[in-house]
């Protein structure tokens, strides 16, 4: 008797555990019929055939109300379905497309490699706070290639993605403060939407609905193509460079140590890109450190 009792206990124990382990998500995979009772009823019964019976029984009004309700359900259902067919808003789009571009160019950029904590994120955060830029969320991606030296990509309101070349940082022996200043330049370019403007893509479809039309698949391809064009080949023009340099000058002037560090970084970059063939393209993307030095240098007074 005792043995039987113990056996029963063991079996129930096993059963309760297996049922507890059952994934609740598995249950949710069962297909749910979304059709309401009223709609099913409407489908099943042809009221036109029994119209006279309904009039005799005084149920015509009730039937009208029922038809109205089914109509309303159909409208609501269409509206719910329509909600799934929106293009992302401008706010949500840039983070998505910037990351999609990074994913599509993972091999060229070579960012998927083991790396230690460099402390760049902390240095940049401190710099932003020191200069009064609060509540800014940033993601820094270290790339193991000289193809892209440093670049800022849009990621929505108060959000930024920065690319930074490890070979570049090593070749120039940049300190954390130097790197933070280089990223600050990219931060200002993003704040002024220079990169988005240089893409020259029509973004008016963002936030609109495509329920009644086909989704424009070529839109994404066009944006990605233009990302590559600006990041790899065209970069920024002289006017844009002048504006960002002047902004850096204006912001950093209140802190002579930082201003000096920035001036030294530009000098370092200028000398380096003139001597290293690998970085000759830098001038095309950021024209030009030599001019930046001139724009930053105090003007000599002619007496």
Partner 1 sequence: MKIFVFIFLLSTSSFAQTTMGRKYFSNFLGHVHKSMSKDATSLTIVQCSHSVKILKENNLLADWNYVQVGEDKGYVQSEFLTDKKPDCFQEKYPKFYNSVGLDISEMYYWGKLYDQYFQGKSKIK
Q: What is the contact surface with partner 1 in residues (CB under 8 A)?
A: 2-3, 6, 9-10, 13-14, 17, 20-21, 23, 25, 84-88, 92, 96, 99-100, 102-104, 106, 111-112, 114-115, 117-118, 120-122, 124-125, 128-129, 133-142, 210, 215, 217, 220
Cα atoms found within 13 Å of the Cα of residue 261, Cβ hemisphere only: 16
Please give the helix or strand (H or E) that residue 163 lies within, else none.
Answer: strand 159-165
Sign of CA dihedral 242, 247, 248, 249: positive
**Smallest distance, partner 1 to C-beta of residue 265, A:** 20
Contacts with 39 (C-beta within 8 Å, 6 or more apart), sequence order: 70, 73, 74
**Smallest distance, partner 1 to C-beta of residue 96, A:** 6
Sign of CA dihedral 192, 193, 194, 197: negative
**Smallest distance, partner 1 to C-beta of residue 139, A:** 4
**Smallest distance, partner 1 to C-beta of residue 122, A:** 7
Q: What are the residues facing 152 on neighbouring strands?
A: 162
**CA–CA gap between residue 201 and residue 193 (Å, rounded):** 13
For residues 187 and 236, which CB has a smaller minimum distance to partner 1 in the complex?
187
Are 211 and 82 in contact, with CB atoms under 8 Å apart?
A: yes
Helix (H, G, I), strand (E, B) or coil at 55: helix
**CA–CA gap between residue 180 and residue 186 (Å, rounded):** 10
**Smallest distance, partner 1 to C-beta of residue 72, A:** 24
For residues 37 and 134, which CB has a smaller minimum distance to partner 1 in the complex?
134
For residues 37 and 113, which CB has a smaller minimum distance to partner 1 in the complex?
113
For residues 123 and 248, which CB has a smaller minimum distance to partner 1 in the complex?
123
**Smallest distance, partner 1 to C-beta of residue 98, A:** 10
**CA–CA gap between residue 231 and residue 108 (Å, rounded):** 12
For residues 3 and 49, which CB has a smaller minimum distance to partner 1 in the complex?
3
Task: Give 207-216 contacts, CB < 8 A, sequence gap 24+.
Answer: 207/86, 207/87, 207/88, 207/89, 207/90, 208/86, 208/87, 209/82, 209/85, 209/86, 209/87, 210/85, 210/86, 210/87, 211/81, 211/82, 211/85, 215/85, 215/87
For residues 20 and 32, which CB has a smaller minimum distance to partner 1 in the complex?
20
**CA–CA gap between residue 288 and residue 280 (Å, rounded):** 11
**Smallest distance, partner 1 to C-beta of residue 5, A:** 9
**Smallest distance, partner 1 to C-beta of residue 302, A:** 43
For residues 23 and 34, which CB has a smaller minimum distance to partner 1 in the complex?
23
**Looking at residue 175, what DSSP letter applies?**
-
For residues 181 and 273, which CB has a smaller minimum distance to partner 1 in the complex?
181
């Amino acid at each position: 008797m005792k043995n039987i009792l113990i056996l029963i206990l063991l079996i129930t124990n096993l059963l309760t555990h297996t049922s507890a382990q059952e994934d609740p998500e598995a249950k949710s995979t069962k297909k749910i019929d979304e059709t309401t009772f009223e709609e099913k009823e409407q489908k099943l019964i042809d009221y036109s055939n029994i119209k006279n019976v309904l009039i005799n029984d005084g149920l015509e009004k009730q039937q009208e109300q029922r038809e109205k309700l089914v109509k309303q359900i159909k409208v609501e259902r269409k509206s719910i379905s329509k909600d799934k067919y929106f293009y992302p808003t401008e706010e949500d789009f840039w983070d998505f497309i910037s990351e999609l571009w990074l994913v599509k160019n993972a091999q060229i950029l070579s960012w998927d490699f083991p790396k230690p904590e460099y402390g760049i994120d902390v240095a940049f955060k401190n710099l932003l706070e020191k200069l009064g830029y609060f509540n800014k969320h940033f993601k820094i991606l270290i790339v193991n290639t000289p193809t892209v030296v440093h670049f800022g990509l849009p990621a929505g309101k108060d959000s930024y993605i920065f690319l930074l070349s490890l070979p570049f940082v090593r070749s120039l022996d940049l300190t954390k403060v130097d790197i933070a200043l280089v990223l600050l330049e990219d931060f200002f370019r993003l704040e002024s939407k220079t990169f988005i403007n240089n893409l020259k893509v029509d973004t008016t479809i963002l936030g609109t609905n495509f329920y009644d039309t086909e989704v424009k698949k070529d839109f994404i391809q066009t944006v990605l193509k233009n990302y590559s064009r600006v990041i790899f080949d065209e970069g920024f023009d002289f006017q844009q460079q002048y504006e960002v340099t002047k902004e850096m000058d204006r912001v950093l002037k209140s802190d002579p140590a930082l201003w000096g560090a920035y001036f030294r970084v530009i000098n370092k970059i200028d000398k380096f890109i003139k001597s290293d063939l690998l970085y000759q393209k830098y001038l095309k993307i950021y024209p030009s450190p030599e001019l930046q030095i001139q724009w930053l240098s105090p003007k000599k007074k002619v007496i």
